[in-house]
Each structure stands twice: as C-alpha cells, then as structure tokens.
Amino acid sequence: MNILLLGYGKMGQLIGQLSEDRGHSIAGKINIDNREDLDSLDVANIDVAIEFSQPEAAVENIKWAVDKGIPIVSGTTGWLDQKPEIEQLTLAKNGAFFYASNYSIGVNIFFKVNEFLAKLMNETSGYKSSVEEIHHTAKKDAPSGTAITLAEGIINNITDLNSWNLSEGVSDIEHSLPITSKRIDPAPGTHIIRYSSEIDDIEITHTAHSRQGFALGAILVSEWIQGKKGVLSMDDFLSF
C-alpha cells in the first residue's frame, strides 16, 4: 500500500515508521513547509492519505484528497465545525473519508465504557459529572477531540445535560458538563471521567503510555478502508 502523509510532525513520523515496518511505502510527506509539492504528486500511485496536521490545515488537506479520489483517514482535531462540509463533499464525490478523534483501540473501548456508565448514572441521583484531560504542551486545541467525544457520550445518555463547557473545575453552569484541560509534558494523553457526590466518587480513566497506539490504529484503518466508500468512523471499523 502506498501512503501519503499529510502532516509530518511527531505523529506523522511515527505513522511513517510503523507503516514501513508493516511493508507499506510512503508516497509523500507533506507539511507546512512543502505543501506546494501536492501539485507534483502522482495521485494514481497513492492508495490512501493519512492526515495528522494542524487544525488550520486539515480542511484543505482533506478536500484535496477527496477531490483527487484518494481515500483519507484523518485524526486532526480542532476543525470539526467544518466536518459537515467535508461529509457532503465526500458523498458528492463518491469518496471515502474516515475521521476519528482518537485511533487507539483502547480509547475506543473506553468510549463505549463511558457511554455505558453514563446510562447507569442517568438512573442515579446526587452525582455531578465532569471530564478532565491532560496532554503535552505542544497540543494546540483544548479541550482535546477525545475529551469532546467523551463529553458527547455522556451528554447523549444523561437527560439533565445538554452541553459541555471548558472549565477550571466543577462548573455550576446548569445542564452543562464541565471539561478541565491541562497541558503538562511529556503526557501523551490522559482522560478521566468523574462522578462526584457527597458520599463517594466514581472514576474511570484512560492513560496513554505512548503515541504508538494512535499511530498503529490509523494504519490499521488505512488498510481496512481500501475499496470502501462513504463517511466512515471507528464504529464501522470496529463493528460496534
């Protein structure tokens, strides 16, 4: 499989290394310094594009791949207000667009555990829910895309909540779930779901030890997406 890397920071470099370890080839490495090289690429020689860039570059990167008929797997966060536009373009072009806020298999299991716990807590009174996430200082967006996905999983299952807010701690905003974002090196990612009451606290936590799980997940999805069409997600990949 020939892979185009759109974004060649720490994640792009790791994806490139692991891809070659799995027998794949890198058809190009595009970042902010050489984006003009997209015009000279042989698109017929590209089987998939993996996009881990920056929020300000993601939309144009994805549009480029969809326009060229290249399946694209994106993990960039911080641009999702424009995701409906990308989805419409994908369907209009009969393309393949896969997005996940987190490609770790463990995190996606954590998403499901989070939703199940929220359903249980919806039947229980006296608890206030919150989300805390910790990432390295180079991460630009806050809260993380993973934290937003977790928040949505809670909001969709607890009837008293209808939104989330970025907070320094437990928020008193009515019907809103507080998210606390911390930036501490060298943390690759920790997410904590907390339900607090006067009697006790209930917590579930996912802690990433390295970026390797995220990178490998994106490669596995890229192998899986070959021959598929449409707007796809981890639920499709994992058949949840």
- Note the pLDDT tens digit of each residue in 90-113: 999 999 999 998 999 999 999 999
**pLDDT range class, residue 170, cuts 50, 70, 90:** low
On the 0-12 / 13-18 / 19+ scale of CB atoms within 10 A, 2 is middle
**Rg of the chain taking only CA atoms, in angstroms:** 19
- Fold classification of 105-207 (topology level): Dihydrodipicolinate Reductase; domain 2 (3.30.360)
- Spelled out in words, what is the top-level CATH class assigned to the domain 2-103+212-238? alpha beta
Q: Report pTM.
A: 0.82
pLDDT of residue 7: 96
| Nearest by Cα to 118 from 62, 160, 78, 166 | 160
User: Is pLDDT above 70 for 240?
Assistant: no
Q: List own/partner pairs for 120-124 with CB under 8 A and 24 or more apart.
A: 121/158, 121/195, 121/202, 122/157, 122/158, 122/159
Q: Per-domain residue ranges for the chain? A: 2-103+212-238, 105-207
pLDDT higher at 81 or 139:
81
| Nearest by Cα to 148 from 61, 239, 55 | 55
Tell me the average pLDDT across 193-205. 97
Q: What's the CA gap between 76 and 187, in Å, rounded?
A: 18
Measured from the Cβ of residue 215, the count of other Cβ atoms closer than 10 Å reads: 25
pLDDT of residue 169: 62
- Note the pLDDT tens digit of each residue in 20-72: 999 999 999 999 899 999 989 999 999 999 999 999 999 999 999 999 999 99
Residues with catalytic function: 135, 139
